[in-house]
Amino acid sequence: MKKILGILLFIGIALNANAQLLWKISGNGQEKPSYILGTHHLVPLSIKDSIAGLPQAIDGTAQVYGEVVMSEAMSPEFMQTMQQSMMIAGDTTLQALFTPEQYEVVGKVVKENMMADIAMLAKLKPAAITQQLTVILCMKHLGGFNPQEQLDTYFQQQAIQNGKKVGGLETLQSQINVLFNSQTLQRQANLLYCLVSDIDKAMDQTKRLNEAYKAQKLDDMLKLMEERDGNSCDPLPGEMEALLDNRNKAWIEKMPAIMKDAPTLFVVGAGHLPGNNGVLNLLKQAGYSVEPMK
């Protein structure tokens, strides 16, 4: 699952309590409650209509905070930074990161799906290819997936239209670092090969993750995220911490001041919500009452 989770920009409390995506945060000196919504990048935007309590959460909050401010990702400055971060520095090339046999397999899949000769991507980081290839594969294999319509962007756009403040829990640079700089080039190459060597399995895992999200069952998502193959495709020590736990803890340090400023709707990836080091449990440890909306 790491090969999917590391791209999209996604642990337990009680089993029955986890069948929800929207949670109310109250107490700890707050005059009005805030809310946190777990999102998933690969589901249709229409899922929002089946989330209990969402209109109340929207109407009752004065600002929306996401993982990042999505509109900033469209700036020319960010696009330039992103492009630079996707490129391999120095004399290393993409081909040097694979065996000849692996390079042939990767090249075949890239040609079939990205309509590009892999030789043209010689200086592109493997993680960047994995990201682009995954989006293309999901468009082919997942019904209703449209990368131009995502929950995170939708809620921020709605907030702006309604004159509400929009903020981010982390910077775009920090997300770039997670995507393209947190692993060695060789590790990125290994994960790209994991994807291309068994696309059917990767898509099956992704479909099951989608179904768990649509059923609003964080516990089922947790089980899928914890699946291991017993090989080099499994997360290495520290990788899941960098992807989820460490970021969750950093967010928790910021959230109290944000909620004190104004009642807030937080919109973040669903994988960040559950688990001992998930945002829901960390909020409870910080003295807040956290309950699912019904």
* Percentage of residues in the chain having pLDDT higher than 70: 94
CB contact at 8 A, 132 and 49? no
d(CA 148, CA 84): 23
The tokens describing 232, both together, are 């080099």
Specify the pLDDT at position 19.
57
Q: What is the pLDDT of residues 25-34, one digit of tens each?
A: 999 989 999 9
pLDDT surpasses 70 at 14: no
For residues 290 and 294, give the distance between their C-alpha atoms in angstroms, rounded to a whole number. 13
Per-residue confidence band for 12, with pLDDT thresholds at 50, 70 and 90:
very low
Using a cut of 0.85, tell me whether the model's pTM lies above it: yes
Cα Rg of the chain, angstroms:
19
Distance CA 93, CA 185 (A): 10
At 41, the pLDDT band (50, 70, 90 cuts) reads confident
Query: How many CB atoms lie under 10 A from the CB of residue 170?
Result: 18
Neighbours of 211 (CB within 10 A): 14
Residue in this structure with the two tokens 């990161």, named with its chain if needed: 97
- Residue-wise pLDDT for 102-112, tens only, equals 999 999 999 99
The pLDDT of residue 13 is 29
Q: Is the dihedral of CA 8, 139, 97, 120 positive or negative?
A: negative
Q: Where are the domains of the chain?
A: 2-292
The whole-angstrom distance between residue 143's C-alpha and the CA centroid of its chain comes to 19
> Angle 126-141/100-114 helices, nearest 10 degrees?
50
Q: What is the mean pLDDT of residues 238-252?
A: 94
Closest to 213 in 3D by CA, of 48, 55, 70: 48
> Residues 61-109: pLDDT tens digits?
999 999 999 999 889 999 999 999 999 999 999 999 999 999 999 999 9
pLDDT, position 222: 82
252-290 pLDDT, tens digit per residue, is: 999 999 999 999 999 999 999 988 999 999 999 999 999
Looking at the DSSP bridge assignments, the partners of residue 35 are 24, 265
Q: Can you read off the two tokens belonging to residue 236?
A: 């290495």
What is d(CA 83, CA 62) in angstroms, rounded to the nearest whole number?
34
**Residue with the two structure tokens 């990368």:** 147
CA dist., res. 99 & res. 107, Å (int) = 12
123-174 confidence digits (pLDDT tens): 999 999 999 999 999 999 887 788 888 899 999 999 999 999 999 999 999 9
Q: Token pair for residue 170? A: 């982390």
CA distance 5 to 45: 20
